[in-house]
Amino acid sequence: MVLSNVRWGIIGCGDVTEVKSGPALQKAARSSLVAVMRRSRDRARDYAERHGVPRFYDDARALISDPEVDAVYIATPPSSHCEYALACAASGKPAYVEKPMARTHTECVAMNRAFEAAGVPLFVAYYRRALPRFVHVKNVVDSGAIGSPRFVRVTLTRAVAEDERSPERLPWRVQPDVAGGGRFVDLGSHVLDLLDWILGPIDEISGIAANQAGLYPAEDCVGLVARFAGGAIGTALFAFATAAEGDHVEIVGDRGTLRFATFGEEPVRLTEPGGVTERAIAHPAHVQQPLIQSVVDELCGMGRCPSSGVTAARTSWAIDRVLAAYRDRPAQSPGSASAKPR
């Protein structure tokens, strides 16, 4: 299918759509936002009025079947991604799904099969693949400035968020039934997908996951080792109950080193035999806009989006491999002093 313009509908108008993505659907070339849906009709109306969207729904199926909606952005928690995506495929409509693509790789496979059978594309919001900062990182690696990448080191550490300290009101991001895991799945998926794009798909991966603070059922610390199709070996530590906060990625080649942050905006640092070069690249106001533009371009027959259901499913496969043993452990109550943290 080739469109001249893309009219979007959003399912799930949460915080991510307020600045990161919703306005980008309106500001991208050949793109408009014509309908939104929330389970609360009053909140759907409020979003529509604030963002100048002509129609609102409290029923996802009604939005998907709206004949004036060409493509659907699924911005709900991961537990409903597969359900809504399959409904889009059945209606013959392309979908743009928030990351992670789904709770498990099995759900991702079902989604990809449905869209392939329907003959319409599926995209996933791993938007770092289109941000200028990371396009620069990939270009540096591809140019051979650091030579052949030999290994990559990742460290991502965060303190416990305040809303994670109350078992009665835990955010969905640390509820495995909803999110598929914890903050490793939420944030670590961005890192793994980015490295898949820069270094090639992960051929082999293993890891250890634990819950050290015992505040919620999901993992809060993950260590892993991976081998990428391009030949590099990677190690990574993700810890979300620490005093110090850190965000470091270092790609080491046989001629130089590239260092950057996945979530921060400190300058990208290239170390070569001839010296050190730093380049600061700020994010756009709406960080998903470059990727959304690539989605619109592909739907209009003018380009190719770098983040598809196929690429995103690889990241979910890697996450499943790392968390397999942890997910198989018996569940424990959060905050239980007598039980092993799960």
Domain ranges of the chain: 6-127+290-308, 129-283+317-327
**pLDDT at position 337, please?**
38
* CA 228 – CA 213 distance, rounded (Å): 31
* CA 317 – CA 169 distance, rounded (Å): 29
Q: For residue 342, which of 223, 224, 210 has the smallest C-alpha distance?
A: 210
The arithmetic mean of pLDDT across residues 128-146, rounded, is 98
Rg over CA atoms, the chain: 20
Domains 6-127+290-308 and 129-283+317-327 share a fold: no
Q: Taking 80 as the threshold, does the pLDDT of residue 221 lie above it? A: yes
Please write the tens of the pLDDT for every residue from 182-209: 999 999 999 999 999 999 999 999 999 9
CATH superfamily to which 129-283+317-327 belongs: Dihydrodipicolinate Reductase; domain 2 (3.30.360.10)
Q: For residue 27, which of 2, 8, 4, 55 has the smallest C-alpha distance?
A: 8
Q: For residue 124, which of 93, 81, 92 has the smallest C-alpha distance?
A: 81
Q: Fold for 6-127+290-308, please state it.
A: Rossmann fold (3.40.50)
Please write the tens of the pLDDT for every residue from 277-318: 999 999 999 999 999 999 999 999 999 999 999 999 999 999
pTM of the full structure: 0.95
Strand pairing class (71-74; 6-11): parallel
